[in-house]
A and B are shown apart, each in its own frame.
Chain A
Amino acid sequence: MKSLFKIVSRYIGAAFFITFLILILNIFLDAYFILYYGEASQNLPGIENVSKEITKTGDEFEVTKKGKEMLESYEWAFLLDEDGTILWSDKLPEDLNKSYSLTEVAGFSRWYLKDYPVKVWTHPDGLLVLASEKNSVWKQQLVLDMDTINESNRIVLVFLLGNTLLILLLCLFFGYRFYRSLKPVALGIETLAEEKSIRLPEKGMTAELAGKLNQTSELLEKQKQLIETRDTARTNWIAGVSHDIRTPLSMIMGYSEQLEQAKNLDEEQKKQVQIMKAQSIKIKRLIEDLNLTSKLQYQMQPLRSENYHPAKQFRQIVASYYNEGLSEQYEINLEIAPKIEPLELKGDLQLLNRAYENLIGNSIRHNEAGCKISITLQKKEELLEILFCDDGVGIPAAVKAGVFEEDSMQKASEDKELGNVHIMGLHVVKQIILSHGGSMEILTVEKGATIRICLPVMGHSEVSA
């Protein structure tokens, strides 16, 4: 809405500016016009000059050469005496050649004589009357009393003020109307930007605009739905496939476990059965990861947040590795800093367990000759830092790069060497840690693999015994 207000206020400002510009321009043009044409109207020789050129010698009136030239510009001329009798005339039409009464003189001196615009001037011997061409001059009387002339400054000011006020009111009125009609459109755009759908009324001067916006909204809505349906379909498909694999896989796992315990197998056969079992467990984890990653990707897995003690959690995880029969060649050391002991965090314990088990599982799977795994928990400022180190073969650079790229899953499938459990497992770990507001990085070390996970320790409560 702020932007709309800005637009409208600018619009009003601009209207103001334009109006003032026009006013000022008009004032200048008027001044120029009056000055220019005022001078132009003096093309006719002034009557006072003509009067000087007419002199009386005896009973006759004589016009100088210059006077004659001047008279050329006039239609006709005559000179009246005190009684209204024509003493002298020049080119006077017949019907005007008569004596004039006082009333007639008073009449034409101000206005016209038989439609001839005339000028009068006091000659030493009477009244000089000069006529211009018919319809060439417009005569208007302006009578103002003295007070008005004195007040003229104030009047001009009032005029200007009145004008300004009117302009302002009009600008505001149109500005408001403009604002009113644009408001729904602006609101619509704002709503669209928030990825919500809109339905604007299509009327007024913004009807077409609103229509287009509605169309855009519909289009966006459709696309959103399409993407959602596709995402859901993909997630459901993965869930469905993994569901259908579960029962047959149960049987492979179950029977290979039974075979493993059979007494009549030789060493070689026993080994093969063990491989079958180990591989089906791998598939089991793969299915779980696949399901989890597709759900986490589209945020369909809600975080079931609960309070938990990381120290307790890690002891439980590591102990269960030993309790489930960790092979001799592996060793898991857990170091928990004293400060971590009372620490309580909020998070989805199941998911976090899954993440940590993936990391430990990776170290075990990728180091068949055995390795030492050490897990260290310590507090770094407002973070819980968890380091997973092993002294095994390490993580290939390609995997490192893959996990942290946007479309690592896609890349993994393109690169056949990467398309294994390793990257999927790490990908799930990353997703889980990120969904807890934490971070994960693979550190570059000389030997083995080191992965650092940091979880925020916000508003933790120190539990006292």
Chain B
Amino acid sequence: MERIQDVKILIVDDNEELLEMLEKILKKEGFLNLFPAKSCEEARKVYETVRPDFMILDVNLPDGDGFHLFMEFRQKEDIPALFLSARDEDQDRLFGLGLGADDYITKPFLTQELLLRIQLILKRTYAGVLQQKKTEEVKIGNASVDFKSATVKKDGKESVLTAKELAILKKLTENRGNIVTFDMLCDAVWGDGYYGYENTLMVHIRHLREKIEEDPSKPKWILTVRGLGYKLVKEA
């Protein structure tokens, strides 16, 4: 498997039209190994022949339910799965997640959201398998960050990132273009809430800016979103 898009995806839903739509959307996104199934029986056959890397399961199926199917497959192999169900009851969602599913999305859904969640699961599961070149070196403006050695190169000068700075920058990079709240950052770095870390976090951000930004007093890349958090601006 070279790319994340190479994963084999089993899609189970009793509605043929929806199945077709999911295939189209995923194909467009670059996923080519798609295996649709309309019932538990079909799903079992597909599973035995192709051994998928990922499953999208509906809960209500004509000859059983997705929960049982999931448990059945999970006993054989620990593959990631996402439930896509019209059941929006909390207990259904909690049950599905409780079984060990990676996500539970209720219909109707935004295709963009579905794709993002699928990618998140796949990245999380198969990050080790894939070459990590992309995340190991990141360009931020004139600076380039090497996460493996925790160093920043800017204008020919090299500076070292502390462990905390590295953790913050990693979190920001993972969510590049999006606001990362103070809480998320503190959770990622200290495993704790924001309260009590307000100043510490600010100091770390200032140090990061000194190492990355051209003019740390007028940051262009690591932006403060007042009252919410920080955002690493996407490369134009």
Verify B182–A315 contact, CB threshold 8 A: yes
Distance from A68 Cβ to chain B, minimum over Cβ atoms (Å): 121
Instruction: Determine the chain B residues whose CB is within 8 A of the CB of A252 once the complex forms.
Output: 108
In chain A, what residue has the closest Cβ to B13?
Answer: A247
Give the contacting residue for A341; candidates B108, B192, B194; CB below 8 A.
B194
CB of B193 within 8 A of CB of A463, answer yes
User: In the assembly, what is the distance between CA of A309 and CA of B182, in Å?
Assistant: 13
Interface string of B187-225 (1 = CB under 8 A from A): 000001111111000000000000000000000000001
Mark the stretch among A139-147, A152-160, A329-337, A361-369 that contacts chain B: A329-337
A334 and B228: CB pair below 8 A?
yes
Q: Return chain A residues, CB-CB under 8 Å to B182.
A: 315
Contact string against A for B residues 59-102, beta-carbon threshold 8 Å, 1 for contact and 0 otherwise: 00000000000000000000000000011111000000000000
Contacts of B184 in A (CB 8 A): 316
CA distance A464 to B195 in the complex (A): 7
> Is A291 positioned at the interface, with any CB of B under 8 Å from its CB?
yes
Give B16-51 as 1s and 0s: 1 = Cβ < 8 Å from A's Cβ atoms.
011001101100100000000000000000000000
Which of A35-43, A317-325, A381-389 binds B? A317-325
Q: Check A315/B87 contact, CB under 8 A, given A334-B227, A341-B195.
A: no
Which among B25, B183, B192, B228 has the highest number of chain A CB atoms within 10 Å? B228
Contact at A247–B193, with CB atoms within 8 Å? no
Q: In the complex, are the beta carbons of B111 and A319 less than 8 A apart?
A: no
Q: Are B196 and A465 touching (Cβ within 8 A)?
A: yes
Does chain B have a CB within 8 A of A10? no
The minimal Cβ–Cβ distance linking A305 to chain B, given in whole angstroms, is 13
Take A247-B18, A309-B183, A316-B183 as given contacts and tell me if A333 and B108 are in contact as well, using a CB distance cutoff of 8 Å. no
With beta carbons under 8 angstroms apart, the residue of A239, A242, A258, A311 that contacts B194 is A311
| B181 adjacent to chain A (CB < 8 Å) | yes
CB neighbours (8 Å) of A257 from chain B are 110-112
Contact B106 A315 (CB under 8 A): no
A350 touches B225 (CB 8 A): no
Would A323 and B110 count as touching, CB distance under 8 A?
Answer: no
The residue in chain B whose Cβ has the minimal distance to the Cβ of A340 is B195
CB pair A350 B90 closer than 8 Å: yes
- Interface: B179 (CB within 8 A): yes
Judged by a CB distance under 8 angstroms, whether A212 is at the interface is no
Q: Choose one: B17, B107, B180, B193; the contact of A249 (CB below 8 Å).
A: B107
**B86 contacts which of A247, A280, A301, A342 (Cβ < 8 Å)?**
A247
Does B196 contact A315, Cβ atoms closer than 8 Å?
no
Docked complex Cα distance between A465 and B182 (Å): 15
User: Chain B contacts of A246 at CB under 8 A?
Assistant: 86, 88, 106-108
Contacts of B107 in A (CB 8 A): 246-247, 249-250
Q: Are A288 and B88 in contact (CB under 8 A)?
A: yes
1/0 contact trace for B169-189 toward A, CB 8 Å? Answer: 000000100111111100000
Say yes or no: B228 contacts A318, CB within 8 Å. Answer: yes
Residues of A in contact, count (CB < 8 Å): 41
With A and B bound together, what is the CA distance between A304 and B107 in angstroms?
22
Does A243 make an interface contact (CB < 8 A)?
yes
CA distance A382 to B179 in the complex (A): 32
Question: What are the interface flags for A243-272 relative to B under an 8 Å C-beta threshold, 1 for contact and 0 otherwise?
Answer: 110110111111101100000000000000
State the Cβ distance, A293 to closest chain B Cβ, in Å: 14
Q: Are A304 and B90 in contact, CB atoms less than 8 angstroms apart?
A: yes
Known contacts being A315-B227, A350-B90, is A280 close to B195, with CB within 8 Å? no
A175 to B136, CA, bound (A): 93
A341-381 contacts to B, CB under 8 A, are: 341-342, 350
For the complex, is B229 an interface residue (Cβ under 8 Å from A)? yes
Q: Are A253 and B111 in contact (CB under 8 A)?
A: yes
Residues of B within 8 A of A464 (CB): 195-196
Q: How far is the CB of A345 from chain B (nearest CB, A)?
A: 13
A59-88, CB < 8 A from B:
none
Per a CB cutoff under 8 Å, which of A243, A316, A334, A465 touches B87? A243
In the assembled complex, the Cα of A280 lies from the Cα of B226 at a distance in Å of 33
Complex contact B193–A312 (CB within 8 A): yes
Q: Are A465 and B195 in contact (CB under 8 A)?
A: yes
Chain B residues, CB < 8 A from A318: 227-228
User: Does residue B15 face the partner (Cβ distance < 8 Å to A)?
Assistant: yes
Chain B contacts to A: CB under 8 angstroms: 15, 17-18, 21-22, 24-25, 28, 86-90, 106-112, 175, 178-184, 192-198, 225-229
- Name 26 A/B residue pairs within 8 A (Cβ), A-sorted: A246-B86, A246-B107, A246-B108, A247-B15, A247-B108, A250-B21, A250-B107, A251-B21, A254-B111, A258-B24, A258-B28, A258-B111, A281-B110, A288-B88, A309-B193, A312-B194, A319-B178, A323-B175, A333-B227, A334-B228, A336-B227, A341-B195, A341-B198, A463-B195, A464-B195, A465-B193
Known A-B contacts: A250-B107, A253-B110. Give 12 more (CB < 8 A).
Answer: A239-B89, A254-B21, A254-B25, A281-B110, A291-B88, A309-B183, A311-B194, A316-B183, A319-B178, A342-B196, A463-B195, A464-B196
Residues of A within 8 A of B (CB): 239, 242-244, 246-247, 249-255, 257-258, 280-281, 284, 288, 291, 301, 304, 309, 311-312, 315-316, 318-319, 322-323, 333-336, 341-342, 350, 463-465
